[in-house]
Structure 1
């Protein structure tokens, strides 16, 4: 059992392909697809392994798609804890329009979970949480789960030596952002998600940092990180705010950039790095992920190149 456990309760079989141009009403001839296991926690675990670390993936799988996804994870050598999902694992499709070099992403729904299904998963996560390690809650919660699912898991682990990192969206993020009695160690979101919470634009780095600081004061997380897309990443604690720029000059695919950030950050923290260094590791991993095709995430040589040019500055 590694010191990092990633949790994916709503995984997906990721299919990436491309077409010359997306045109409504036409049969579009696609390139050969690249098929990868996907879902926030899975991608975080894959990124950690590609960066030279170790992570165990707690994954809810079901049906034929779940079996295929599990086989891909086993072939990749990723340590698994498989939790039985109440239905077929979902699929997602990413199609790159080569005429504009941009991507269309289609996310299919997963199975519906009952309260008993959620209870079983929470018990499994608590039983497998690593002592003095990290649990990464990444991606959306399963259909049927309540908005307080990740807050509940934070509470379950609050009296342990495990630190929780949360990277989610939608109602689960809204709930976390309200502030929790048992807050996570890290809460991460992107700029669009932050602006959906504030309901106003955050055009400058200082604006983003101000909001991140408010979330820390509110009890949303000991550390709050907001990704500003191609600009870089802002990190806030009660003691200060820092910024690390994105350093990639090429964007081949944005798939998995956020998950790569979380992987790089978590691995650096587990290795004992300070927060500014961990921020640089996360930013370099995100930049590296943008330099790869499809769903390859961050490759080590790209990460090393980006890390050499990454520097955190105080805001």
Structure 2
């Protein structure tokens, strides 16, 4: 099976810990610390490998935290191509509060990239994407990177005959959709911002998704709806999948796991309906893991059988 290339311009060291209770002013003694390599595309590559697929992660890294990122990725056994940058790789951390089971997520800003640095990322993708099934461009863009960067990735994919998946938000997502991609994964809020829809009921969301696909913005649009599952739209069909009920331990990386499961299934030639089930199973599986860990293959395979899908008919 052809490999999947992932691109992460703003990776992070994801740190997770816990405290009995989050209170102001007092020193909060934390529990054990977990550290994992993170950022949208890196998470996707981790899950693709966990599910038995082949991936190559392209990402930036800089400073002492960049060295730590390399070490953590080596431990995960990921095939990768890193682009050295002058700035430091960012950190993000998650704190689980024991008394309430609430999760507090703190996302630190990333470095500023020079034009030379982000151009090298595009060049690296062009090299490793030869013969690939997909390029998955995922996550936020650091300062210094133009808003149309993911649109440039989409053009690169078209030139090389490789399907492009985009998972981001705001102007970078809008620019990528103006260029046209194979698959995009907005959430409900992002769908509203893209289309200007006034309400967020399923009928309105379904109509908005169909409009984006009809305009050629994406061949496949997967709208994530949190605990309500996801809505997948192609020119031929529209399918809703429901999330199996589970006890959530951490939501870190759930969206990236969804993208990984969905994309890998499509790369394996699965139908859109089956691919959506694998995406839901992967995203739900991530909820079962602690801290910055992601989904595990055994959980995903078990959950896949529990995912219910149904066609959505135009109103």
Give TM-score scaled by structure 2 length.
0.94
Q: Give the secondary structure class of the aligned counterpart of 1:44.
A: helix
Corresponding residue for residue 168 of structure 2: 168
User: Where does structure 2 lack aligned partners over 5 or more consecutive residues?
Assistant: none
Instruction: Give the drift of 1:144.
Output: 1.2
1:299 and 2:296 aligned: yes
Corresponding residue for residue 26 of structure 2: 26
Corresponding residue for residue 35 of structure 1: 35
Structure 1 segments (4+ residues) deviating >3 Å: 195-203
Relative distance call for 1:48 and 1:91 in structure 2 (3 A) is: same
1:258 and 2:255 aligned: yes
Corresponding residue for residue 151 of structure 1: 151
Instruction: Give the drift of 1:289.
Output: 0.7
Q: Give the secondary structure class of the aligned counterpart of 2:152.
A: helix
Instruction: Give the drift of 1:153.
Output: 1.0
Deviations along 1:7-62, one digit per CA (max 9) or x if unpaired, are 11110000011111212222211111110000001100111111122211111111
Report which stretch shifted further, 133-142 or 214-223: 214-223
Check conservation: 1:97, 1:103, Cα contact below 8 A: yes
1:281 and 2:281 aligned: no
Q: Give the secondary structure class of the aligned counterpart of 1:60.
A: strand
1:308 and 2:301 aligned: no
Corresponding residue for residue 108 of structure 1: 108
Mapped to 2, the partners of 1:272 and 1:56 lie a distance apart of: 19
Corresponding residue for residue 135 of structure 1: 135
Give TM-score scaled by structure 1 length.
0.94
Instruction: Give the drift of 1:198.
Output: 4.4
Check conservation: 2:11, 2:59, Cα contact below 8 A: yes
Summarize the alignment of residues 147-296 of structure 1 with structure 2, pairs less than 5 Å apart. Answer: 147-177=147-177, 179-180=178-179, 183-198=180-195, 202-296=199-293
Deviations along 1:233-281, one digit per CA (max 9) or x if unpaired, are 1011122211111113211111010000011011111111111111110
Check conservation: 1:165, 1:186, Cα contact below 8 A: yes
Check conservation: 1:3, 1:130, Cα contact below 8 A: no
Deviations along 1:196-239, one digit per CA (max 9) or x if unpaired, are 43455654333222221122123321111110000101011122
Mapped to 2, the partners of 1:291 and 1:267 lie a distance apart of: 20
Give the paired residue count.
312
Check conservation: 2:56, 2:128, Cα contact below 8 A: no
User: Where does structure 1 lack aligned partners over 5 or more consecutive residues?
Assistant: none
Relative distance call for 1:171 and 1:305 in structure 2 (3 A) is: same
Mapped to 2, the partners of 1:205 and 1:99 lie a distance apart of: 35
Instruction: Give the drift of 1:86.
Output: 2.8
Instruction: Give the drift of 1:77.
Output: 0.8
Q: Give the secondary structure class of the aligned counterpart of 2:161.
A: coil
Check conservation: 2:213, 2:220, Cα contact below 8 A: yes
Instruction: Give the drift of 1:132.
Output: 4.7
- RMSD over aligned CA atoms reads 1.7
Instruction: Give the drift of 1:187.
Output: 0.6
1:122 and 2:122 aligned: yes
